[in-house]
Amino acid sequence: MPLTPELQKDIAARLRYYRDLGVFDFYQRGSATAEAVAEAPPQDIAQDQMPKTESIALQEPETSTPVAPENRIEALRIIQEEIGECTRCPLAFQGRHTVVFGEGNPYARLMFVGEGPGADEDAQGRPFVGRAGQLLNNMINAMGLQREQVYIANIVKCRPPQNRTPEPAEAITCSQFLLRQIDVIRPEIIVALGSTAATYLLGGKSPLSALRGRVHEMHGTKLVVTYHPAFLLRDPRQKKEAWKDLQIAMAELGLQPPKKSASEQA
């Protein structure tokens, strides 16, 4: 079977799906599709982009003196200014338009970390504003919160070409800024959206299935892992599972889901 661009896209989408489910290992049965997978260019193969080493945890920021609440906005502004029109990693030269810093409440108790900006985010300079962002907003609302109450950021601040998974060098280069944002905001809990966020925030390379369902600790901050909203758009059956993860985060924050109105219950 010829390896057409459509077939490559289908294979890449299927591999992303398995990656989000936490499946990293594939075995070749000698079929044409397996050959096609082997031949596909690396940028389309999510599995190839997963970090190969075990030492992939993000580096701890050098100083972790708490920033006084009244200085948080300024502290975040300084980080953003320092990033500027960043050229520290190859993503700067691979079609990115905007550095997507992150946004939200500097006093947020809850922070979400995704993978990296997509096309909509790259165009608007804001995280999670496309279809996955709409679903993330719904997830936040289901928790009884408004988007303005939380903080949202990504492992990398620049869009990877064709939305490929960030390379370890890109994630680690960019992470110094994400860790400083976390250090300024000091959320009570972080929700890692998908395996890329979980992999880099927690280090190691465990499947998502092994990381979900419990509270982790990351540099003194609690962390819960759930599916990426883009994955939930592809497989809505997993929303029930994601809701279980969000309820773990809610329990940590002492939040109750909002009561449904009579019309919503009907």
- β-partners of residue 152 are 103, 112
Q: Closest CB to ligand URA belongs to which residue?
A: 114
- Provide the CA 252 distance to its chain's centre, in angstroms: 20
- Establish if 51 lies at the interface with ligand URA (CB under 6 A): no
- Crossing angle of helices 5-21 and 194-202, in 10° steps, is 50
Stretch that binds ligand URA, among 25-33, 126-134, 169-177, 255-263 (CB under 6 A): 126-134
CB-CB neighbours of 129 under 10 Å:
20
- Establish if 128 lies at the interface with ligand URA (CB under 6 A): yes
When binding is defined by CB under 6 A, the residue of 132, 158, 185, 249 that contacts ligand URA is 132
- The number of residues that bind ligand URA (CB under 6 A) is 12
Give the separation between CA 56 and CA 132, rounded to whole angstroms: 26
> What x/- string results for residues 216 through 245 when contact with ligand URA is judged by CB under 6 A?
--------------x---------------
Give the separation between CA 262 and CA 148, rounded to whole angstroms: 26
Give the separation between CA 260 and CA 56, rounded to whole angstroms: 42
Stretch that binds ligand URA, among 128-136, 137-145, 182-190, 210-218 (CB under 6 A): 128-136
Side-chain half-sphere CA neighbours of 177 within 13 A:
25
Q: How far is the CB of 230 from ligand URA (least distance, A)?
A: 6
Stretch that binds ligand URA, among 28-36, 53-61, 116-124, 173-181 (CB under 6 A): 116-124
When binding is defined by CB under 6 A, the residue of 104, 106, 127, 207 that contacts ligand URA is 127
When binding is defined by CB under 6 A, the residue of 104, 117, 166, 207 that contacts ligand URA is 117
Phi, psi of 113 (to 5 degrees): -125, 120
Residues whose CB is less than 8 angstroms from the CB of residue 189 and which lie 6 or more positions away in sequence, other chains included: 109, 110, 111, 215, 221, 222, 223, 224, 249, 252, 253
Question: Would you say 16 or 186 has its CB closer to ligand URA?
Answer: 16
Q: How far is the CB of 177 from ligand URA (least distance, A)?
A: 15
- Establish if 151 lies at the interface with ligand URA (CB under 6 A): no
Question: Would you say 4 or 146 has its CB closer to ligand URA?
Answer: 146
Give the separation between CA 9 and CA 194, rounded to whole angstroms: 20
Q: How far is the CB of 28 from ligand URA (least distance, A)?
A: 30
Q: What is the DSSP letter of 105?
A: -
Which is nearest to 147 in space by CA: 157, 133, 137?
137
> What x/- string results for residues 96 through 115 when contact with ligand URA is judged by CB under 6 A?
------------------xx
| Binding footprint of ligand URA on the chain (CB under 6 A) | 114-118, 121, 127-128, 132-133, 154, 230
